Structure 1
């Protein structure tokens, strides 16, 4: 690894490291020939390669960078030069004074649909130019989408781009699992539809605030991409949400074309009248069907209700500390319970042994509001289905933590699920921390009840009776 101050090719002085990922390290550098600031990408060369394979890898990286250097579009970060030094490929690019989309989402949360549509149109423009030159990007993701001061987006990092119809990088450095199309994970050839799938996943992340196939680890993410449907978008609105769901189809042939994606993104910006927005393209129909199937007839309000902005029963979320009395908490926790409003929308009752909390109940509440496309209860129903899917994907064992399945709960709210986890203590295989969580929905309100116990004895199944009893008390209080 080169250090700051290193002079590359007698011309590019490395100033500071800007970021590092699986595909390489990006530096800010000073071009001492033209006296300007540039970005320099140090391409990661897998260590396990033989000398011959290293040479092949370097040749391919140089060839692809030169191909990318031919691309010209306002939304493409320009490639200026390629350097091979001691078998190490380096790519010289424009230095963009912007921030990556993933950082913007992490710091500011979900973006509004119209802004997401603008980002999508810019990235789509860059991809269309690349595809017209017979090149697929292969690594479209929020980290490779840069936003400048006025919100304009640019697509960077064509370092692993390949010709249309080409296969994934045999050295294993190409792409990020959550943003790789299913056919790429199956080692099938890449095409424009693969990049559009990745764009759909990136825009989904931007508007919803989390990735469509978010899971605990890369293997679980890859399995979700191949086997599961993403949770229906909630914040995107009906038109953008339907487009994103269609773009994430498993079958490349079922996805909308670039022209169809462009048309729909322009329609999102145009904010057509409700009557016009209800028109559906043939490729948007599966999005509606997927939402109905995922939510089920019991939790779905029906297509006839869509578009009616019912605000729901709750103008604001009830104070969680008022949904359970101190006497009820003490009875459930079997001890003197201390109550504290730990943060907005959350209340916790704890039983202590000395200064140490050994058992606790946490109640959280939040009310969903109409979005312009969906009423409050519809938003809550979609959010509940989203949470059910995501939580169900966490089931399994990882290191000392075991996560159980998601199960439906009867007679709690309009719909409810429960899930338990157990984490073994270090050096005590038969003891650990146990948590059981109930998520319930009623009208436009979602509430979460968490039962936590320290020093719990390990068994084949965590006892869910305490959390279910607590959830029923909270549900009763909500009905009142």
Structure 2
């Protein structure tokens, strides 16, 4: 293991000041770039590359690949290098911006996060993974220590030591986040990131990792046969997603694009629910105020009751109130109630959403046509066949899969996907009633 101390200088340039965080694979230092006179962060791999020239080539290749990966929620890489440490080892290091923020691990130490905060952080991280996986990069160390909470949102560190999908497995990673197949020497695959993501989501929601093992030896000795633990007290969609990410078999885990879709939908549903509840509260207050006004007009104020009967009352002048646009609650009420909506009405609302300028206005015409055709086939099949309680879900599965595929291809926006999934829920509900 390479040992570094405050005051050490890497590559005659980077002055190490103090360690900021330690993970299973590396140490992050606050440092000073003596050439450009700026504060930076330097991540140094803890394992020495002195005895394995092949490992040095691999790390260098991975750093170069990651340096070409630019994402707003992934920290940019300034430099990569290798240096001989004071203990005689060869250490690889990655130079990054020094951002002002709090490691997610410290935030979790204060207790579990509210599910919406956890889901929002997870969504941002899932989008980074989706972009990295699309380029063939696998992070391999998605942990709470590698997420920095900044004023502009969470940032994922460590793509500077990512691997190419298909590379041989190695011992990098933090034990509680290590996917079971990594112990069997399976090649690097995006599913290992998804498993670690599931551990991180479980940790944010509960304050603890899903399994108690914390070392490589304990993980190798563990024999897990029961289904992954389920997070209590959160929406079913979020609990199910977390459980799927922790699946023992990599082929049973969702892709990063599916995670983005599921979290976007869950957060969108929660936001809509808040708007509806707020609108109903405002509407209820308005009804109470109107009732009070009518009561006073009918019964008269105390002053009117005591007025001299010989004096004619003065008729009040009604104020002129300009018409106001319909509130969000009113617009929601204008739609057919979910309990009365037919399959045809729900399908028509799906089409209307798909063709609307917001949020689906940027969708390609060929994607719109394809989705309409699948929808038409779904509706005609539903009318022609009797079905059991689960068949409506199986018939809409193809359309849901197409939506996920288009999102992964970048041809459908997350906001559009969220609205279309909500309309699909309405279609399934209508099918169950018909």
Q: TM-score range by the shorter chain?
A: 0.5 to 0.7
Residues 214 and 221, structure 1, Cα contact 8 Å, conserved in 2? no
TM-score if structure 2 supplies the norm length? 0.58
Equivalence map 1:22-421=2 (5 Å): 22-46=24-48, 53-86=51-84, 87-106=90-109, 108-149=110-151, 152-169=153-170, 172=171, 174-215=172-213, 218-224=216-222, 226-271=224-269
Distance 1:141 1:247 in 2: 14
Could you report, residue by residue, the CA deviation over 1:180-230 in whole angstroms, capped at 9, with x for unpaired residues? 122212211121222112111111110111101124754334554744433
In structure 2, how many angstroms separate the alpha carbons of the residues matched to 1:44 and 1:137? 17
Aligned residues: 272
Specify whether residues 252 and 216 from structure 1 end up closer, same or farther in structure 2 by C-alpha distance, changes over 3 A only: closer
Q: 1:225 to 1:74 in 2, by over 3 A?
A: farther
DSSP 3-state at the match of 2:52: helix
Which of 19, 33, 36 pairs up with 2:21? 19
Secondary structure (helix, strand or coil) at the match of 1:79 reads: coil
User: What is the RMSD of the two structures over their aligned residues, measured on CA atoms?
Assistant: 2.7
Instruction: Give, in angstroms, the shift of residue 22 of structure 1.
Output: 3.4
Give the distance between the partners of 1:216 and 1:166, measured in 2 at CA: 25
Offset of residue 147 of structure 1 = 0.9
Looking at structure 1, the residues matched to 234 and 222 of structure 2 have their Cα atoms a distance apart, in angstroms, of 21
The alignment partner of 1:41 has SS state of strand
SS in 2 for 1:271: helix
Q: Which runs of 5+ in 2 are unaligned?
A: 85-89, 274-337, 340-389, 398-434
C-alpha distance 83-225 of structure 1, shift in aligned 2 (>3 A):
farther
Q: Give the 3-state SS of the residue equivalent to 1:89 in structure 2.
A: strand
Structure 1 residues 215 and 263, CA gap change in structure 2 (3 angstroms): same
Q: Can you list the C-alpha shifts for 1:315-361, whole angstroms capped at 9, x where unaligned? A: xxxxxxxxxxxxxxxxxxxxxxxxxxxxxxxxxxxxxxxxxxxxxxx
Contact 2:67/2:160, CA 8 A, preserved across alignment: no
- Between the two structures, name the one with larger relative contact order (CA 8 Å, sep ≥ 6): 2
The CA distance in 2 between the partners of 1:214 and 1:34, in whole Å, is 45
Distance 1:259 1:132 in 2: 10
Give the whole-Å Cα distance in 2 for the aligned partners of 1:134 and 1:42: 24
SS in 2 for 1:250: coil
Q: Distance in 2 between matches of 1:190 and 1:126?
A: 18
Encode CA deviations 1:25-79: one digit per residue, 9 max, x unaligned.
Answer: 2211111222211111222234xx7x5x333322222221121111100111111
The structure with more strand, counted as a fraction of residues: 1
1:443-454 equivalence runs, <5 A:
none
Write the deviation string for residues 397-451 of structure 1: whole angstroms up to 9, x where unpaired: xxxxxxxxxxxxxxxxxxxxxxxxxxxxxxxxxxxxxxxxxxxxxxxxxxxxxxx
Contact kept? 2:127, 2:257, Cα under 8 Å: no
- Paired residue secondary structure (1:75): coil
Mapped to 2, the partners of 1:160 and 1:10 lie a distance apart of: 22
- 1:100 CA drift (Å): 1.6
Whether contact under 8 Å (2:228, 2:247) holds in the other structure is: no
Contact persistence 2:143–2:177 (CA under 8 A)? yes
How far 1:271 sits from its partner (Å)? 2.7
Runs of 4+ in 1 over 6 A off after TM superposition: 273-276, 279-282
C-alpha separation between the residues in 2 aligned to 1:44 and 1:263? 36
Contact 2:74 2:157 (C-alpha < 8 Å) held by counterparts: yes
Alpha-carbon distance in 1 for matches of 2:16, 2:32: 7
8 Å contact from structure 2 (residues 241, 259) kept in 1? yes
CA–CA distance in 2 between the matches of 1:84 and 1:163?
20
CA distance in 1, matches of 2:233, 2:46: 37
- SS, match of residue 58 in structure 2: helix
Structure 1 residues 120, 39: closer, same or farther in 2, change over 3 A?
same
